Amino acid sequence: MAEDKITLIITRQDSPDSPSYQETYKINYRKNMNIISALMETQSNPYNADGERRPPVNWESNCLEEVCGACSMVINGEPRQACSTLVDKLEQPIHIAPMSTFPVVRDLVVDRSRMFDSLKKVKAWIPIDGTYDLGPGPRMPEKKRQWAYELSKCMTCGVCLEACPNVNSKSDFIGPAPLSQVRLFNAHPTGEMHKSERLNALMEDGGIQGCGNSQNCVQVCPKGIPLTTSIAALNRDTNIQSFKNFFGSDNNY
Amino acid sequence: MENRDFFYRRLHSLLGVVPIGIFLVQHLIVNHFAVYGPESFNKAAHFMESLPFRYALELFVIFLPILFHAVLGVYIVFVAKNNVRRYGFFRNWMFYLQRITGIITLIFIVWHVWQTRVQIGLGNVELDYSLMEDILASPVMFWFYVLGVVSTTFHFANGLWSFLVSWGIVVSPRSQKIATYATLLVFLAVTYIGIRALFAFV
């Protein structure tokens, strides 16, 4: 087994503006490899399949247990996390490319800033600061907490944006992930107090109306988040909010 | 106005069902009188033709809503980057077909309106059974009409599904699945009515 080699075909790019190219590596196989450990072989032995010495492949990774979202890349055509993708379960040769929805920084490193900007835009947090001690917030039923926990698993990995046909350079749609976060924070008993602010943010340009119901997001989400259920529920909420805005309402908070 | 894009997209979704969807079903049901013979069709067509406020009805129930739906619809088609080859999920195919049938339907409607309503308005032809009989006598035209009708009914039925989602009427995965089957039945029923009427003219 020691001489076993596996082939990686990696889409590389030297800088944000330079053209991309493919580079093939033959790396030593070990049992139970994941894509991260396969990529690490290109660092310890930085020679491509033609025997040329090359700068090692760049990629991002942190947690190595599919909770941080940093190592998302397109592996054999499927956007997923490199850490939880096992070499033994893949067809050879293995094609690895950066996600196409995001600007490439270098090789497999992409800039997911747009997702973090979207989270700011939709106010995906709960304001708890005041000029005095506001005391403990309202309690949350345990069943609801368990349900909300599923939504909180989102790691901003970008896989749903990569699969969404309406997230692209021609459209300003912010994508499924930040939408579902609005549902999470609007479901929180304290977060609910600022519900309309988040809903109004969702109705701005690039907001929830950009969803075309292709429902790819819910199919590809590595955390199994019910994204399309969130979007449909928020469709209802934003529609009601828009009626409140237009006709006026006694409880428009 | 604030949130113009949101408003236009929701209006687009609403107009597809009310009034355009209702008009479509009404139109195909009236066409279906052709199955009972030329006289029956002529009587029904004459009734529709002599409705009070006809021009206002045509303008506000048919032309303007379709015009808005078409213009924004073409834009929506343009901003999508279809990816059914990579993500061959059922709903993604429906998303893709919705855009394809939208374009086919637009071409068909422009042709159909030119051939019938515009020519009637110019006084070149009269609205009766023989008008459609002549048009559909050409096999090319007949199959173009079949394609146009099926494309329109698909676009309507699948659009009804996304209307239910976009307006937050069906939310849970189960309700969305039931809506899929319900709109499939709508597609089959409306297509049957439309196609059967076409065959009555040949």
**Minimum CA–CA partner of B85 in chain A:** A77
Q: How high is the ipTM of this complex? A: 0.94
Mean pLDDT, rounded, of chain A:
95
What pLDDT score was predicted for residue A3?
Answer: 65
Cβ distance B89 to A233 less than 8 Å, yes or no, reads no
pLDDT mean over A64-89: 97
Least Cα separation, residue B103 to chain A (angstroms): 16
Closest CA to A113 of A61, A156, A63: A156
Q: In this structure, are residues A176 and A160 in contact, taking their beta carbons and an 8 Å threshold? A: yes
Examine the pLDDT at A113 and tell me if it is beyond 70.
yes
Question: What is the band of A98 on the pLDDT scale with cuts at 50, 70, 90?
Answer: very high
Least Cα separation, residue B23 to chain A (angstroms): 24
Q: Which domains are seen in chain A, by residue range?
A: 5-110 (3.10.20.30), 113-247 (1.10.1060.10)
What pLDDT score was predicted for residue B1?
Answer: 59
DSSP A26-51: EEE--TT-BHHHHHHHHHHS-B-TTS
What pLDDT score was predicted for residue A1?
Answer: 47
Going by CATH, does the domain composed of B4-200 fall within 1.10.3720.10?
Answer: no
Examine the pLDDT at A252 and tell me if it is beyond 90.
no
Burial A88-108 (b: 16+ CB within 10 A, else e): eebeeebbbbbbebbebebbb
Q: In this structure, are residues B190 and B157 in contact, taking their beta carbons and an 8 Å threshold? A: yes
Q: What is the pLDDT of residues A125-167, one digit of tens each?
A: 999 888 998 888 899 999 999 999 999 999 999 999 999 999 9
Q: Which of residues 151-210 of A touch B (CB under 8 A)?
A: 163, 165-166, 168, 170-171, 200, 203-205, 207-210
What pLDDT score was predicted for residue B7?
Answer: 96
What pLDDT score was predicted for residue A173?
Answer: 97
The residues spanned by each domain of chain B are 4-200
Q: What is the pLDDT of residues A192-218, one digit of tens each?
A: 999 999 999 999 999 999 999 999 999
Q: Which residue has the tokens 């270098």?
A: A106
Q: Residues of chain B whose pLDDT is less than 50? A: none
Q: Would you say B12 is a known binding-site residue?
A: no
Q: Which of residues 71-90 of B touch A (CB under 8 A)?
A: 76, 78-83, 86-87, 89
Examine the pLDDT at A247 and tell me if it is beyond 90.
yes
